[in-house]
Amino acid sequence: MRLVLVGPPGAGKGTQAEFIAAHLAVPKISTGDIFRANVAQGTPLGVEAKRYMDAGQLVPDEVTINMVADRLAEPDATDGFLLDGFPRTVPQAIALDKMLIELSSGLDVVLELVVENEEVVRRLSGRRTCRGCGKIWHVEFDAPQREGFCDRCGSELFQRDDDKPETIAARLEVYARDTAPLVDYYGARGVLVGIDATGPVEDITVRAIDALQSYG
Ligand code: AP5
Ligand code: ZN
Protein backbone atom coordinates (compact mmCIF):
# COMPACT_ATOMS: atom_id res chain seq x y z
CA MET A 1 0.00 0.00 0.00
CA ARG A 2 1.13 3.56 -0.76
CA LEU A 3 -0.08 5.69 2.10
CA VAL A 4 0.34 9.29 3.25
CA LEU A 5 -0.35 10.38 6.84
CA VAL A 6 -1.48 13.96 7.23
CA GLY A 7 -2.40 15.92 10.35
CA PRO A 8 -1.22 18.84 12.45
CA PRO A 9 2.03 18.80 14.43
CA GLY A 10 1.45 16.57 17.44
CA ALA A 11 -1.52 14.73 15.91
CA GLY A 12 0.31 11.47 16.56
CA LYS A 13 1.61 10.80 13.03
CA GLY A 14 4.98 9.50 14.24
CA THR A 15 3.36 7.42 17.00
CA GLN A 16 0.81 5.81 14.66
CA ALA A 17 3.20 5.55 11.69
CA GLU A 18 5.30 3.01 13.50
CA PHE A 19 2.34 0.67 14.18
CA ILE A 20 0.60 1.15 10.84
CA ALA A 21 3.80 0.64 8.80
CA ALA A 22 4.56 -2.53 10.75
CA HIS A 23 1.01 -3.78 10.20
CA LEU A 24 1.19 -3.09 6.45
CA ALA A 25 4.81 -4.31 6.21
CA VAL A 26 5.92 -1.15 4.38
CA PRO A 27 8.80 1.24 5.20
CA LYS A 28 7.95 4.34 7.23
CA ILE A 29 9.43 7.40 5.56
CA SER A 30 9.34 10.45 7.83
CA THR A 31 10.79 13.66 6.40
CA GLY A 32 11.06 15.10 9.93
CA ASP A 33 13.13 12.07 11.02
CA ILE A 34 15.36 12.31 7.94
CA PHE A 35 15.97 16.02 8.56
CA ARG A 36 16.68 15.41 12.26
CA ALA A 37 19.15 12.62 11.41
CA ASN A 38 20.93 15.02 9.03
CA VAL A 39 20.99 17.74 11.69
CA ALA A 40 22.49 15.29 14.21
CA GLN A 41 25.17 14.25 11.70
CA GLY A 42 25.90 17.86 10.71
CA THR A 43 25.46 17.22 6.97
CA PRO A 44 24.99 20.22 4.60
CA LEU A 45 21.31 19.23 4.30
CA GLY A 46 21.03 19.19 8.09
CA VAL A 47 22.69 22.60 8.44
CA GLU A 48 20.24 24.09 5.93
CA ALA A 49 17.16 22.33 7.37
CA LYS A 50 17.95 23.30 10.98
CA ARG A 51 17.46 27.00 10.31
CA TYR A 52 13.87 26.40 9.21
CA MET A 53 13.03 23.69 11.73
CA ASP A 54 14.15 25.77 14.72
CA ALA A 55 11.86 28.57 13.57
CA GLY A 56 8.91 26.21 13.03
CA GLN A 57 8.97 26.95 9.31
CA LEU A 58 8.99 24.49 6.42
CA VAL A 59 12.22 23.52 4.71
CA PRO A 60 11.98 24.81 1.09
CA ASP A 61 9.98 22.57 -1.24
CA GLU A 62 12.83 21.97 -3.68
CA VAL A 63 15.15 20.60 -0.98
CA THR A 64 12.44 18.42 0.53
CA ILE A 65 11.13 17.11 -2.79
CA ASN A 66 14.60 16.03 -3.98
CA MET A 67 15.23 14.28 -0.69
CA VAL A 68 11.96 12.32 -0.91
CA ALA A 69 12.49 11.46 -4.58
CA ASP A 70 15.83 9.86 -3.66
CA ARG A 71 14.25 7.95 -0.79
CA LEU A 72 11.31 6.65 -2.86
CA ALA A 73 13.73 5.37 -5.50
CA GLU A 74 15.28 2.98 -2.97
CA PRO A 75 14.33 -0.68 -3.46
CA ASP A 76 12.44 -1.12 -0.17
CA ALA A 77 9.85 1.48 -1.27
CA THR A 78 8.99 -0.27 -4.55
CA ASP A 79 6.01 -2.21 -3.24
CA GLY A 80 4.63 0.37 -0.86
CA PHE A 81 5.45 2.97 1.77
CA LEU A 82 4.01 5.11 4.50
CA LEU A 83 4.92 8.79 4.18
CA ASP A 84 4.83 10.72 7.47
CA GLY A 85 5.21 14.51 7.14
CA PHE A 86 5.30 14.65 3.34
CA PRO A 87 3.69 16.15 1.36
CA ARG A 88 3.10 19.27 3.41
CA THR A 89 2.33 21.80 0.68
CA VAL A 90 0.32 21.60 -2.54
CA PRO A 91 3.52 21.90 -4.67
CA GLN A 92 4.96 18.94 -2.72
CA ALA A 93 1.76 16.95 -3.41
CA ILE A 94 1.99 17.72 -7.12
CA ALA A 95 5.67 16.69 -7.11
CA LEU A 96 4.77 13.43 -5.35
CA ASP A 97 2.16 12.65 -8.03
CA LYS A 98 4.84 13.16 -10.69
CA MET A 99 7.39 10.99 -8.85
CA LEU A 100 4.86 8.18 -8.57
CA ILE A 101 3.90 8.42 -12.25
CA GLU A 102 7.60 8.05 -13.11
CA LEU A 103 7.73 4.97 -10.89
CA SER A 104 4.54 3.70 -12.62
CA SER A 105 2.49 3.81 -9.45
CA GLY A 106 0.14 6.09 -7.53
CA LEU A 107 -1.14 6.83 -4.04
CA ASP A 108 -3.72 4.46 -2.60
CA VAL A 109 -4.88 6.53 0.34
CA VAL A 110 -4.24 9.62 2.46
CA LEU A 111 -5.10 9.13 6.14
CA GLU A 112 -5.90 12.32 8.04
CA LEU A 113 -5.48 12.31 11.83
CA VAL A 114 -8.03 14.78 13.17
CA VAL A 115 -7.20 16.46 16.52
CA GLU A 116 -8.05 19.88 17.98
CA ASN A 117 -5.30 22.49 18.47
CA GLU A 118 -5.60 22.51 22.28
CA GLU A 119 -4.86 18.80 22.44
CA VAL A 120 -1.88 18.98 20.06
CA VAL A 121 -0.31 21.73 22.17
CA ARG A 122 -0.60 19.46 25.25
CA ARG A 123 0.91 16.58 23.33
CA LEU A 124 3.84 18.57 21.92
CA SER A 125 4.69 20.29 25.19
CA GLY A 126 5.13 16.93 26.96
CA ARG A 127 6.73 14.96 24.15
CA ARG A 128 10.06 13.23 24.78
CA THR A 129 12.00 11.18 22.22
CA CYS A 130 14.51 8.39 22.80
CA ARG A 131 18.06 9.15 21.70
CA GLY A 132 18.72 5.45 21.13
CA CYS A 133 15.74 3.92 19.32
CA GLY A 134 13.68 7.00 18.45
CA LYS A 135 10.57 5.84 20.33
CA ILE A 136 8.21 8.70 21.12
CA TRP A 137 7.07 9.16 24.73
CA HIS A 138 4.97 11.69 26.61
CA VAL A 139 5.64 12.82 30.19
CA GLU A 140 1.95 12.48 31.08
CA PHE A 141 0.12 10.43 28.43
CA ASP A 142 2.75 7.76 27.75
CA ALA A 143 5.41 8.03 30.44
CA PRO A 144 8.28 5.55 30.70
CA GLN A 145 8.68 3.70 34.00
CA ARG A 146 12.01 5.38 34.77
CA GLU A 147 11.69 9.12 34.26
CA GLY A 148 13.89 10.43 31.45
CA PHE A 149 14.89 7.01 30.09
CA CYS A 150 13.44 4.74 27.41
CA ASP A 151 11.76 1.53 28.61
CA ARG A 152 12.52 -0.15 25.33
CA CYS A 153 16.28 0.43 25.02
CA GLY A 154 17.35 2.23 28.22
CA SER A 155 18.71 5.32 26.39
CA GLU A 156 18.17 8.89 27.53
CA LEU A 157 15.11 10.85 26.38
CA PHE A 158 15.30 14.40 25.00
CA GLN A 159 12.90 17.21 24.17
CA ARG A 160 12.85 18.36 20.54
CA ASP A 161 14.14 21.92 19.98
CA ASP A 162 10.98 22.76 18.02
CA ASP A 163 8.68 21.80 20.92
CA LYS A 164 9.14 25.18 22.66
CA PRO A 165 5.83 27.11 23.05
CA GLU A 166 6.70 29.87 20.54
CA THR A 167 7.85 27.35 17.92
CA ILE A 168 4.76 25.20 18.44
CA ALA A 169 2.58 28.26 17.72
CA ALA A 170 4.52 28.97 14.51
CA ARG A 171 4.20 25.34 13.39
CA LEU A 172 0.43 25.38 13.92
CA GLU A 173 0.14 28.55 11.83
CA VAL A 174 2.23 27.02 9.06
CA TYR A 175 0.03 23.90 9.17
CA ALA A 176 -3.18 25.91 8.81
CA ARG A 177 -1.77 27.99 5.96
CA ASP A 178 0.32 25.55 3.93
CA THR A 179 -0.67 22.00 4.83
CA ALA A 180 -4.41 22.06 5.63
CA PRO A 181 -5.20 22.78 1.92
CA LEU A 182 -4.02 19.22 1.18
CA VAL A 183 -7.20 17.93 2.82
CA ASP A 184 -9.21 19.51 -0.01
CA TYR A 185 -6.61 18.52 -2.60
CA TYR A 186 -6.83 14.83 -1.73
CA GLY A 187 -10.51 14.98 -0.77
CA ALA A 188 -11.36 16.08 -4.30
CA ARG A 189 -9.47 13.06 -5.63
CA GLY A 190 -11.43 10.66 -3.42
CA VAL A 191 -8.35 9.23 -1.69
CA LEU A 192 -8.78 10.97 1.67
CA VAL A 193 -10.03 9.23 4.78
CA GLY A 194 -10.17 11.04 8.13
CA ILE A 195 -10.22 9.46 11.58
CA ASP A 196 -10.70 10.85 15.07
CA ALA A 197 -7.17 10.77 16.51
CA THR A 198 -8.11 11.38 20.15
CA GLY A 199 -8.24 8.75 22.88
CA PRO A 200 -5.81 5.92 23.65
CA VAL A 201 -3.02 5.28 21.12
CA GLU A 202 -4.09 1.64 20.62
CA ASP A 203 -7.69 2.63 19.83
CA ILE A 204 -6.49 5.07 17.19
CA THR A 205 -4.32 2.38 15.59
CA VAL A 206 -7.37 0.08 15.37
CA ARG A 207 -9.44 2.93 13.85
CA ALA A 208 -6.68 3.62 11.33
CA ILE A 209 -6.30 0.01 10.26
CA ASP A 210 -10.09 -0.35 9.93
CA ALA A 211 -10.27 2.81 7.83
CA LEU A 212 -7.50 1.57 5.52
CA GLN A 213 -9.12 -1.78 4.88
CA SER A 214 -11.14 -0.68 1.87
CA TYR A 215 -8.10 0.88 0.14
CA GLY A 216 -5.15 -0.64 -1.71
P1 AP5 B 1 7.91 16.67 11.70
O2 AP5 B 1 8.87 15.86 12.47
O3 AP5 B 1 7.17 16.04 10.58
O4 AP5 B 1 6.92 17.34 12.75
P5 AP5 B 1 5.34 17.60 12.75
O6 AP5 B 1 4.54 17.37 11.55
O7 AP5 B 1 5.27 18.95 13.35
O8 AP5 B 1 4.81 16.46 13.59
P9 AP5 B 1 5.36 16.02 14.92
O10 AP5 B 1 6.49 15.07 14.76
O11 AP5 B 1 5.60 17.21 15.80
O12 AP5 B 1 4.08 15.32 15.55
P13 AP5 B 1 3.42 13.92 15.23
O14 AP5 B 1 2.11 14.13 14.55
O15 AP5 B 1 4.39 12.96 14.61
O16 AP5 B 1 3.09 13.50 16.73
P17 AP5 B 1 3.80 12.40 17.68
O18 AP5 B 1 3.42 11.03 17.26
O19 AP5 B 1 5.23 12.72 17.89
O20 AP5 B 1 8.62 17.97 11.10
C21 AP5 B 1 9.48 18.77 11.86
C22 AP5 B 1 10.02 19.90 11.00
O23 AP5 B 1 10.76 19.37 9.89
C24 AP5 B 1 8.96 20.81 10.36
O25 AP5 B 1 8.54 21.83 11.22
C26 AP5 B 1 9.73 21.34 9.15
O27 AP5 B 1 10.63 22.36 9.51
C28 AP5 B 1 10.54 20.12 8.71
N29 AP5 B 1 9.82 19.30 7.73
C30 AP5 B 1 9.41 18.00 7.89
N31 AP5 B 1 8.75 17.58 6.78
C32 AP5 B 1 8.75 18.63 5.92
C33 AP5 B 1 8.21 18.81 4.62
N34 AP5 B 1 7.53 17.84 3.99
N35 AP5 B 1 8.39 20.02 4.02
C36 AP5 B 1 9.07 21.00 4.61
N37 AP5 B 1 9.59 20.90 5.85
C38 AP5 B 1 9.42 19.72 6.51
O39 AP5 B 1 2.96 12.69 19.04
C40 AP5 B 1 3.16 13.90 19.76
C41 AP5 B 1 3.11 13.63 21.26
O42 AP5 B 1 1.78 13.20 21.61
C43 AP5 B 1 4.05 12.50 21.74
O44 AP5 B 1 4.60 12.85 22.98
C45 AP5 B 1 3.12 11.28 21.88
O46 AP5 B 1 3.58 10.40 22.88
C47 AP5 B 1 1.81 11.94 22.25
N48 AP5 B 1 0.64 11.20 21.75
C49 AP5 B 1 0.52 10.57 20.54
N50 AP5 B 1 -0.70 10.01 20.44
C51 AP5 B 1 -1.37 10.33 21.60
C52 AP5 B 1 -2.69 10.04 22.09
N53 AP5 B 1 -3.53 9.33 21.37
N54 AP5 B 1 -3.02 10.54 23.29
C55 AP5 B 1 -2.16 11.26 24.03
N56 AP5 B 1 -0.89 11.56 23.62
C57 AP5 B 1 -0.50 11.09 22.41
ZN1 ZN C 1 14.72 3.77 23.12
What pLDDT digit, counting tens, does each position of 160-191 carry? 999 999 999 999 999 999 999 999 999 999 99
- 175-184 contacts, C-beta under 8 A, 24 or more apart: 175/8, 175/9, 178/58, 178/88, 178/89, 179/6, 179/8, 179/88, 179/89, 181/90, 182/6, 182/87, 182/88, 182/89, 182/90, 182/93, 182/110, 183/6, 183/112
CA 157 – ligand 2 centroid, Å: 8
81-127, pLDDT tens digit by residue? 999 999 999 999 999 999 999 988 899 999 999 999 999 999 999 99
The band of 71, judged by pLDDT with boundaries at 50, 70 and 90, is: very high
CA 100 – ligand 2 centroid, Å: 33
Enumerate residues lining ligand 1, CB below 6 A: 7, 9-15, 31-32, 35, 52-53, 56-59, 64, 85-86, 88, 92, 123-124, 126-127, 136-138, 141-142, 162, 171, 201, 204
Assess: ipTM above 0.90. yes
Question: Over the chain, what is the mean pLDDT?
Answer: 96
Atom of ligand 1 nearest to the CA of 68: 34
- Domains of the chain (ranges, CATH numbers): 2-114+178-212 (3.40.50.300)
pTM: 0.95
CA 74 – ligand 2 centroid, Å: 26
